[in-house]
Structure 1
């Protein structure tokens, strides 16, 4: 046997197959000192290195059975499923999405103003993954570390829609502004659908809350009580102190504050969905009315009528307002007799403004639709009388003109001759 053949037979024993392969490169820990690294690690915070810099990242998981206020995190998936089973067209509809397609997003910044002078020092996000809710927070250790911050954040988001609280006006424009300054070094911002819950909360609960801050909605609507929470307005001062001293003690409080904000978005989206889809057994008559008004403004007349009908019996304020609104829904569909019946009940019992408008609408219906001039005159005269009782400020709100009421009455008088 030749020497060459002998060597070939011995290759497996000699290890010569690997002789031409490059030796594996050992991944070296970047030689960047992270101040108080051990303290950070105790709270589940670790460094994310990129090139010659780093940001800090905190990750946490929650069971779907865990309650946050009056809802468990698992009920968010039920809300998405309910949207997918509904035909209602709504700005908050998750129809066409899986729960995993949606992420909840909030930031902490060095100020409340816009522009390049305001920096984001914490980007927080949460989403449902399998049987867990996973939270991830990206922390800016100092102002020069925005590239790793956005590299870390953008490498973590693969979703179709985000949920924020006033994020359309503040959080996301801030992200865009800061991203513009470093866009050559980090991935592009992906396009997202956007559910902004601030406007929804304002529409639903402005009748009971003086301010529609998330903390107020948490306490008075969702049953969430914060303990030892750091107020958001202190966040910039705490962050600047952290940048100077590096000690994470104060920052850990801000991170916890941001965590609760994000988790509250999950409960709030669930609650709003159940309210709009009328799946909340605890829904108050006022909330039913506000849902009806919202659906009506979106052209969902059938759903709006269902909501108004539910609370239209009786003499409560909500019942009277529901009948008043229901009359307009019947007017849209040219159900003149039913609209007139409802407005008649308001003309005698409603608020001064609703009485006035009801009488005007009745005068129109009797003149142009039911061809009853005598009844039209009765309500036109009553409308003019009510207008005289209305204060100046209320008159400005209605856009009703006295001369128009007088012209209507004059025209009806000529027709009656």
Structure 2
């Protein structure tokens, strides 16, 4: 669809009469007195940003580094970036090579959760570290037709290398790009950047613990952030439309505060995730550490994964057994089959049917293909068969593959005995 057609479809949403031929440049010039409730806005740190004959609203608030937000002071973010720069681990959230000032924490408020041009962003919020303070800036759309000053004020204020969001790859930034397309001839270009999306990291570490992974839930359950008199995010579109109609700031001020807390939470969450991944959190649970190890395995960070599983492998907890199993796979990958087989032998005796089955199956493979000991290969293959039969989650292809394996091992054993 052409840009012209998109704009035609947007006209009802932008409150531009079909018969109107006026461009935005022919609208009356705004002055401070003409901005409704300007005194209320100014009392709450909000100022107008004028661009030719239009305007948006901008709020700026400064936080000291010793400000406590949940489990962390904001200044601990600097320690997190320093830790990445001292680490040799390659990771999607690594800030290695960056200064703390180069990370840009970003969140939006929109009129809906859907995509496309019908969804308007009415608040762009972001925070960066500047002169030993965190500066939170929020750019507010006073009416749907004022996106040119909104995006101009936003893009003139940002100078960033890496964006930090919560589900921003899937939602926030695609929405920004969509809305920017409609006004790109009149505003600065969107810069290129890296992207740290904390939603995916949170899902990896805490999906075992949290049924839902909304930022507000992660805040409360993981970061120990308690919101007081917070406006729920799902009410934001309704409140914004009421503001557009009445121009009264009260409801919008609640949404602005909600967005501000979201942004501060991104800072604390990035700090916490860093301390989790780099094993700096002294209160890290065994399950969290295990999930970090599995993430290292997925990323091909084998040394980091192996070190993590070694730390967790002692004891008789489920995390210890799972770590021993993961460690055996690391050893197998390194072709250290003797060490791996020792772990499999121990795990084949535990009460967990899944790990015991997988370990017995690996022993059967080991004795068949590497040791050529078909008697032991058959023994552990039969044990794997019994363990599989006890499981309600067994699959037909597993049973068929195991039956073929046992048949092949039996045939090899018979042939070996005949040759003797």
TM-score (norm 1): 0.90
Shift in CA distance, 31/127, structure 1 to aligned 2, threshold 3 Å: closer
Equivalent residue for 1:408, pick from 394, 405, 410 = 405
Q: Which moved more, 1:359-368 or 1:83-92?
A: 359-368
Contact 1:67–1:73 (Cα < 8 Å) also in 2: yes
Equivalences, count: 386
Alignment match, 1:190: 191
Contact 2:32–2:38 (Cα < 8 Å) also in 1: no
Alignment match, 2:162: 161
Contact 1:197–1:269 (Cα < 8 Å) also in 2: yes
Distance in 2 of aligned mates of 1:93 and 1:217: 21
Distance in 1 of aligned mates of 2:359 and 2:318: 16
Shift in CA distance, 202/68, structure 1 to aligned 2, threshold 3 Å: same
Distance in 2 of aligned mates of 1:314 and 1:390: 25
Contact 1:219–1:225 (Cα < 8 Å) also in 2: yes
Q: CA deviation at 1:372?
A: 2.3
Contact 2:30–2:53 (Cα < 8 Å) also in 1: no
Q: CA deviation at 1:345?
A: 2.1
Q: Which moved more, 1:263-272 or 1:340-349?
A: 340-349
Distance in 2 of aligned mates of 1:276 and 1:110: 35
Q: Which moved more, 1:30-39 or 1:199-208?
A: 30-39
Deviation by residue 1:47-87 (Cα, 9 ceiling, x = unmatched): 00001110000000011011111111111111111111111
Alignment match, 1:269: 270
Alignment match, 1:59: 60
Alignment match, 2:7: none
Q: Could you list the runs of 5+ residues in structure 1 that have no partner in the other structure?
A: 1-27
Distance in 2 of aligned mates of 1:371 and 1:46: 79
For residues 14-413 of structure 1, the aligned pairs below 5 Å read 30=31, 33-391=34-392, 394-396=393-395, 400-413=397-410
Q: CA deviation at 1:118?
A: 0.3
Deviation by residue 1:211-247 (Cα, 9 ceiling, x = unmatched): 0011111111111100100110000000000000000
Deviation by residue 1:179-204 (Cα, 9 ceiling, x = unmatched): 00111010110011000000000000
Q: Which moved more, 1:254-263 or 1:378-387?
A: 378-387
Q: Provide the secondary structure at the position in 2 that maps to 1:378.
A: helix
Deviation by residue 1:315-367 (Cα, 9 ceiling, x = unmatched): 11111111111111111001111111112222221532222222111111111
Q: CA deviation at 1:29?
A: 8.5
Contact 1:320–1:350 (Cα < 8 Å) also in 2: no
Q: CA deviation at 1:92?
A: 0.4
Contact 1:164–1:195 (Cα < 8 Å) also in 2: yes
Contact 2:30–2:54 (Cα < 8 Å) also in 1: no
Q: Provide the secondary structure at the position in 1 that maps to 2:163.
A: strand
Distance in 2 of aligned mates of 1:241 and 1:350: 60
Deviation by residue 1:346-401 (Cα, 9 ceiling, x = unmatched): 2221532222222111111111123322221111111112222222xx234xx852
Distance in 2 of aligned mates of 1:317 and 1:401: 24
RMSD over aligned Cα atoms: 1.4
Q: Provide the secondary structure at the position in 2 that maps to 1:395.
A: coil
Q: Which moved more, 1:206-215 or 1:28-37?
A: 28-37
Distance in 2 of aligned mates of 1:371 and 1:67: 63
Deviation by residue 1:271-294 (Cα, 9 ceiling, x = unmatched): 101111111111110011000000
Q: Provide the secondary structure at the position in 1 that maps to 2:34.
A: coil
TM-score (norm 2): 0.90
Q: Could you list the runs of 5+ residues in structure 2 that have no partner in the other structure?
A: 1-28, 415-420
Contact 1:161–1:194 (Cα < 8 Å) also in 2: yes
Distance in 1 of aligned mates of 2:126 and 2:240: 19
Q: Provide the secondary structure at the position in 1 that maps to 2:63.
A: strand
Larger radius of gyration: 1
Q: Which moved more, 1:264-273 or 1:359-368?
A: 359-368
Contact 1:32–1:53 (Cα < 8 Å) also in 2: no
